[in-house]
Amino acid sequence: MTLHLPCAALKALTTASVAILATTASATAQGVFMQQSNDVVAIQMESALPPSSWSPSTVTPGFTGQSYFRWDGPNFFSTPGNGVFGFDFEVSTSGSHSVSIYNRHEDPDPTEENDTWVRMDGGSWVKAFSNRPTSVGSWTWETRSEAAGGASLTYTLTPGPHRIEFSGRSNGFKMDRVHIYPTGANGENAALPESPRRFGDAYCTTVPNSTGLASSLEAIGSPIASQNDVILYGADLPIGALGYMAVARTQSFFPNPGGSAGNVCLGANIGRYIGDVLVADGSGQVSMALDLTSIPQPTGSQPTLAGETWNFQFWHRDSAPGGGATSNFSRGLEVTFE
């Protein structure tokens, strides 16, 4: 079965000059890291762009991922807030969560060059450190909190989004990754893959479908184009509704194309995944893995490169009030790849 966006809509999108709707920011550019099935949020430091004085490095062996961060700025033992970077993440469990940093320091004295500043959700900065003799010259998960009298670094978290941030403290301190997990769980496994991210910005005004809700669209995986690891998820759809994804480089707004109940939020030169017809499951959801090496466009498929922005939308069949057939659209999703 082949589904088609009405030709009248495509023609109008190509020729009309329509004001682009402002996007609604939903997260930072690097996205929101999600709790995995093992309850661990695993984050590689190099997933952030290092601010001044944090240097990505591969000199010291034993790190995971592509690199680690080293604080090359001066010592800031009493003044946190220098070289700040951080990550947005979310948890589904409530209560005490441990924060473990895979870290390393080289000074023969285990109490020197052994710490960083950490804060959660914009709260107070605390010194996090490792000071066992075995931590010298070795990668370790040891992460103690000075504010907790040297006990493990923990925070009480509620289900939902949070943000953890780091600030330079001791010159030469190295950090490779951070894990956040329910206290007592096994969260110190450096072999765990980095957690998937939810990323992209929702935009555009949409019309509720026959469920009474406006369908949504989100991207989960990695925004790094070279990793080619992105799944689009549509939700709040009528059960059993047929549809397909569409994509364009630009945004626009065209209401009720070809008699549709919804609005097109994509600009000119729309590519359609008409070979990947999706059917909403019993939860009103669809999903599709993207091939970032082959994004459909009217003139032929194109690869996605770092720094490029693509806009996605899901078109689907729907039923009109009082009966009869119509169609509708999800909200738009703007994704800038790294």
pLDDT of residue 11: 33
pLDDT of residue 87: 96
**Do 207 and 285 fall within a single domain?**
yes
Q: How many CB atoms lie within 10 A of CB 192?
A: 18
Residue 226 backbone dihedrals phi, psi, to 5 degrees: -65, -20
Residue 265 above 70 pLDDT? yes
Q: Which of 190, 209, 240 is the last residue of a domain?
A: 190
What is the C-alpha separation between 236 and 254, in angstroms, rounded?
A: 22
**Do 75 and 181 fall within a single domain?**
yes
Is residue 16 very low, low, confident or very high in pLDDT (cuts 50, 70, 90)?
very low
Q: Whole-prediction pTM value?
A: 0.82
What is the C-alpha separation between 219 and 309, in angstroms, rounded?
A: 13
Residue 1 above 80 pLDDT? no
Arithmetic mean of pLDDT, 82-111: 96
pLDDT of residue 324: 87
Enumerate long-range contacts of 183-189, CB under 8 Å, 24 or more apart: 183/95, 183/96, 183/97, 183/98, 183/152, 183/154, 185/38, 185/39, 185/40, 185/98, 186/38, 187/39, 187/40, 187/98, 187/100, 188/100, 188/141, 189/40
Arithmetic mean of pLDDT, 234-251: 97
Angle in degrees, CA 156, 160, 164, rounded to 5: 60
pLDDT of residue 37: 81
Is 1 part of any domain? no
pLDDT of residue 38: 84
Range of the domain at 126: 33-190
Instruction: Compute the residue count for the chain.
Output: 338
Q: How many domains, the chain? A: 2
**Do 62 and 165 fall within a single domain?**
yes
**Do 83 and 156 fall within a single domain?**
yes
Is 100 part of any domain? yes
pLDDT tens for residues 35-67? 988 899 999 999 998 899 999 999 999 999 999
Tokens 């894990």 sit on residue: 179
pLDDT tens for residues 157-172? 999 999 999 999 999 9
Q: 223, 242, 240, 220: which is closest to 231 by C-alpha? A: 220
Residue 241 above 80 pLDDT? yes
Q: Which two tokens stand for residue 242?
A: 């047929």
Arithmetic mean of pLDDT, 217-232: 95
Tokens 């194309």 sit on residue: 257
